[in-house]
Amino acid sequence: VSIIPRTSVKLGFAQFSPRERKILTKDEMFDRMCMLLGGRAAENIIFGRVTTGAEDDLKKVTKSAYAQVQLYGMSESVGPLSFPIMDDSKRNEFGIYKKPFSIKLQHLIDQEASKLVSKAYFTAENILKANEEKLRKLASSLLENEMLSYEDVIRLIGPPKFPKQIVELADHVLPNVGES
């Protein structure tokens, strides 16, 4: 884990062990969203404010939420339907998307994706608040050292309660959802 900027915009970086896995459950996708929102939630808890540093994480979380609702049929309100994720390549010559669903359904998809992201953020925030002492140790050490190895993290807060599950969750930040 590092707070050393990797580009001019990003403030931190966490690297996970890559693993190939294409099929994910709804719970696994939600857990990944919580992990991605952990940095932003930690900023809010430790500093009482959020910054632009989580931009990339927010993009990934938003993409995942829309994929779950619109592509993978994982929303009870929308139902087991699958519609392609729209990107700029799907615009017609007038710059307009030809969507295979109504405006009313688009609003429902937007609401469901937003609710899913909010739920993941509050879950991440609650987990961090329940472990605030450990979070503050990590934050203090990161501010002092700027980078922590896995061993440093273990030394500061101890081993994970569920190592196998955590490794499986952190196998790859997000699959390439919505891409062909």
Minimum mean pLDDT range among 38-47, 84-93, 102-111: 84-93
Angle at which helix 103-130 crosses helix 132-145, to 10 degrees, equals 90
Start-end of H helices in the chain: 26-47, 55-66, 103-130, 132-145, 150-157, 163-169
Q: Give the domain ranges of the chain.
A: 27-128
pLDDT of residue 175: 47
CA dihedral 19, 21, 25, 28 (to 10 degrees): 10
Give the separation between CA 75 and CA 117, rounded to whole angstroms. Answer: 13
Angle at which helix 150-157 crosses helix 132-145, to 10 degrees, equals 140
| Predicted confidence (pLDDT) per residue in 129-173, tens digit | 999 999 999 989 988 988 888 888 899 998 887 655 544 444 444
Bridge partners of residue 22, in order along the sequence? none
pLDDT of residue 85: 77
Angle at which helix 103-130 crosses helix 55-66, to 10 degrees, equals 130
- pLDDT band for position 9 (cuts 50, 70, 90): very low
Percent of the chain having pLDDT more than 70? Answer: 71
Do the Cβ atoms of 177 and 67 come closer than 8 Å? Answer: yes
pLDDT of residue 161: 78
pLDDT of 77 above 70: yes
pLDDT of 12 above 70: no
Residue range 27-128, CATH number: 1.20.58.760
Bridge partners of residue 91, in order along the sequence? 97
Query: Alpha-carbon Rg of the chain, whole angstroms?
Result: 18
- Mean pLDDT value of segment 81-108: 77
pLDDT of 87 above 70: no
